[in-house]
């Protein structure tokens, strides 16, 4: 997979569309794309996606669709009306659901299968009855998702290296859980931007380290400069 000119995508995770657009506008060329997630989409729907796309950067629509194949296929087909570059579905939905999503995605759109959320660890999976730990589960889900024809995966930075070892450079790996340093929040499997890129990540999705900074544009530039210097 060719490297993106700017691998840093900012998550516009807020319900206020005006504030989200102001943030996206302020980041300018400091990021390579913008993510619209559940919070902003639930508040404003397709209007938010179109407005964010008008800022001139690729839009990553992170809805993590997970339902029966017919429903997910129909949802992806409906979302083709929106100007998006990336769309997420849950890898745990099974091969038929993933195939339906990949089949319905319009030209220029990449379906990404979310493996294991970065807020979960081995203990969480054991509590849910999943054996083998996070790394094993990510590889199992990746086998299914890539075999079903999706264009890439969403994983924590800690699973990037084993995924590259198994699948090579072909799949696009989109990586949340990016932190400039260790910090206490709900993300359990994290790395710095430098570490994630060195492991083989293609896209780094960053929210709070940018959006919660006093100067988000400066924070984004520092993150990108640090990643590239590594």
35 classed as catalytic: no
Residue 1 has pLDDT above 50, yes or no: no
- Residue 177 is predicted with a pLDDT of 82
Residue 183 has pLDDT above 70, yes or no: no
Percent of the chain at pLDDT > 70 equals 92
Whether pTM exceeds 0.75: yes
Tell me the domains of the chain and their CATH numbers: 8-229 (3.20.20.70)
- Residue 21 is predicted with a pLDDT of 98
- Residue 120 is predicted with a pLDDT of 87
| Alpha-carbon separation of residue 219 from 3, 52, 165, 185 (angstroms) | 22, 20, 32, 18
Of 109, 142, 117, residue with least CA distance to 205: 117
- Helix, strand, coil shares of the chain, percent, nearest 5, are 50, 15, 35
- Residue 230 is predicted with a pLDDT of 56
Evaluated on CA atoms 66, 73, 149, 201, the torsion sign reads negative
Q: Which residues pair with 90 in a beta bridge?
A: 114
């Amino acid at each position: 997979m060719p490297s993106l000119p700017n691998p840093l995508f900012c998550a516009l995770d807020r319900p206020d569309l005006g504030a989200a657009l102001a943030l996206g506008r302020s980041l300018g060329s400091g990021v390579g794309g913008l993510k619209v997630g559940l919070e902003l989409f639930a508040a404003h729907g397709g209007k938010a996606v179109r407005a964010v796309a008008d800022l001139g950067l690729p839009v990553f629509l992170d809805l993590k669709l997970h339902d029966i194949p017919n429903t997910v296929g129909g949802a992806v087909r409906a979302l083709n009306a929106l100007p998006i570059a990336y769309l997420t579905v849950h890898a745990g939905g099974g091969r038929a659901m993933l195939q339906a999503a990949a089949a319905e995605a319009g030209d220029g759109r990449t379906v990404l299968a979310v493996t294991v959320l970065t807020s979960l660890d081995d203990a969480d999976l054991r509590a849910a009855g999943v054996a083998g730990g996070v790394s094993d589960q990510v590889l199992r889900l990746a086998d299914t998702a890539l075999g079903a024809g999706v264009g890439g995966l969403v994983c924590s930075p800690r699973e990037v290296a084993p995924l590259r070892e198994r699948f090579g450079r072909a799949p696009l790996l989109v990586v949340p859980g990016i932190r400039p340093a260790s910090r206490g929040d709900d993300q359990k499997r994290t790395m710095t931007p430098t570490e994630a890129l060195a492991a083989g990540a293609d896209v780094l999705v960053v929210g709070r380290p940018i959006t919660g900074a006093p100067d988000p544009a400066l924070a984004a530039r520092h993150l990108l400069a640090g990643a590239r210097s590594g």
